[in-house]
Chains A and B, each alone.
Chain A
Amino acid sequence: MTDALRFEWMRIRTLRSTYWLIGLALMLSAAVALIFGLATRSDPIDVVTIGRALTAGGDFGVPFPAIFMAIVGIFATGHEYRHNTIQPTLTAIPQRSRLLAAKVIVVAVTAAIVAVVSIFLCWGVFMIARGESVSLGDAPLPEALAGYVIYTVLWAILGLALAQLFRGVPSAIVVIFVFPFIVETVIVGLSFIPALDWLQPVLKFLPFSAGSRLFAFEDFPTGEDQPNFDFLDRWASGGVFALLVAIILAIGWVLFQKKDA
């Protein structure tokens, strides 16, 4: 297993795109944190503003580290098929489970480190922009930031799992972007139509939307005029997303074992 890990570590760090993608994730995050800090300079600080700054506006869509680390994950498995390297790889490491486990571990650890670094980078930039020190200790920040790291790791593993399932890069990229940005958005949109309001209880099980509750800084608005989304709590929502990732990874894993390389 250590050999497979050594191989994967060497693989990820001899790939130029790894540095590009991590660099982009960090730079874009820091840029958003800077804008946030400057734009809210005269406003009193609250926990939601801090959270948004530290996750680089992540709750507006999908955070940069999640997106870019998903692509790093897609490349981990997809490149093997795109560039025919699966043959030399498997003749060096014939134990396919060991190889895939090493890929998951290296990609997950990389994603976790990038998420943590991006939080602290954004924190620093945000404090410089506001010209004051900002505490990370107020609830729910510690939980939300831990959730943010987990969320980023799950996206990275999802990318890896999809590219393993499809045995290639393009289809995995299409699926990982079309689903959260188009399919789920459309379903949420449809649920606002009165005739389709029966969709609302289902929304909490939309995996990508549920996953983003992992780093929520406030409870979902409730009240008479609000749709009845009835989201699960932070960790249960995260569980829904994690379940999706686990299922896709399991299918990809079984097919990798069973099918010809």
Chain B
Amino acid sequence: MITVHGLRKRYGDKVAVDDLTFDVRPGVVTGFLGPNGAGKSTTMRLMLDLDHGDGETRFDGKRFRDIRDPMREIGAVLEAKSFHPTRTARNHLRMLAAANRIPISRVDEVFDIVGLTEVKSKKPKGFSLGMAQRLGLAQALLGDPAVLILDEPANGLDPHGIHWLRDVLKALAGQGRTVFVSSHLLAEMSLMADELVVIGRGKMIDNGSVASFVGRFTQATVLVRSPGAESFADTLRREGAVVESLPDGALMVSGAGASAIGELAHRTGVVLHELAPQSASLEQAFMSATGASEEFVAHELAEMADGDGAAGTSEPGSDQPGTTAPGGAA
């Protein structure tokens, strides 16, 4: 169990981490999500006392600096290539093992776990990013810790490697460990994580299950292709949706769900060739989030209200939440 309270860090005028408070529970993989530059790495560095800032992080009630043999309780990897290029991988881990009185036999064990046994006596200067990531994971697992903190561990892994990493992390969480993994890619995180801590511009945006977060973002836009795109666009706009015409003639509709658009097309006799809800890219979503976090949240609410207005009359069974905002304001 990791308890993070009031974490804050500023560089001059720029606030990198702004009052983050969250818990990371054991037994599940918790993803730490945010666009590049959101403050994920800084947060992790603050948690591990590498950087100095305000606030407090406790690992099962203990501060990091008070833990004797910290690698036996917390395995952390913040950068993929943090080893001397000509010290063999095995010696690199033996050196760290020596610092925390970890038996040497464990070094060979973790090479087996991450699948680097064949290259453990090699110099890591020739390691690919994927191999470096595996060496990093081996380093984190060295002390058989109950807590894992990994910064972008999937970076540089091929799809097979990402699949493998997911299985390893799930298995480790399944053993009751606390696993805290950062990424800037939603797709990657939706594969790996059960819980999410989402930040933008150093501020907390969301903290909850992956399902609820993904749900919030995948309903945002719908791609519509139709031979009568131009007139249908007007119809949609009259219903309060926001419509953007793409260069290839397709429409990008927000403010109305796929089901509402489909029914509208049916009612108005428009032929649809494609009706595809778009997974809003996290990167896009965070662009607005980092532009102004509060504005971003308000925007989302307004769009949901619009959607309700457009679909409400013909679709009483709509699962969109009712709001008090008047529809059709766009």
Chain A residues within 8 Å of B, Cβ to Cβ: 3-4, 6-7, 9-11, 14-17, 79, 83-85, 87-95, 258-261
Contact = CB atoms under 8 A, between A and B. Distances in A.
Contacts of B52: 258-260
B74 A91 contact: yes
Contact of A92 (B65, B83, B88, B96): B96
A95 B66 CA distance: 9
A14 B94 contact: yes
Given A14-B87, A15-B87, A87-B50, A3 B76 contact: no
Interface of A is mostly: helix
A258 B49 CA distance: 11
Contacts of B65: 94-95
Contacts of A89: 96, 99
A83 B88 CA distance: 14
A3 B101 contact: yes
A84 B99 contact: no
Nearest to B69: A3
25 contacts: A7-B96, A7-B98, A7-B99, A9-B98, A10-B91, A14-B92, A14-B94, A83-B83, A83-B84, A83-B85, A85-B82, A85-B84, A87-B50, A87-B76, A87-B79, A91-B50, A91-B70, A92-B99, A92-B100, A94-B49, A94-B67, A94-B70, A259-B52, A260-B51, A261-B50
Nearest to B50: A261
A84 B74 CA distance: 19
Nearest to A3: B99
A91 B76 contact: yes
A172 B96 CA distance: 26
Contacts of A17: 86
Most buried by B among A16, A83, A91, A261: A91
Nearest to A91: B76
Interface in B2-58: 45, 48-52
B81 interface: yes
A52 to B, nearest CB: 36
B99 A6 contact: yes
B95 A11 contact: yes
B45 A260 contact: yes
Nearest to A90: B50
Nearest to A261: B50
Interface in B202-232: none
Contacts of B116: none
Contacts of B77: 88
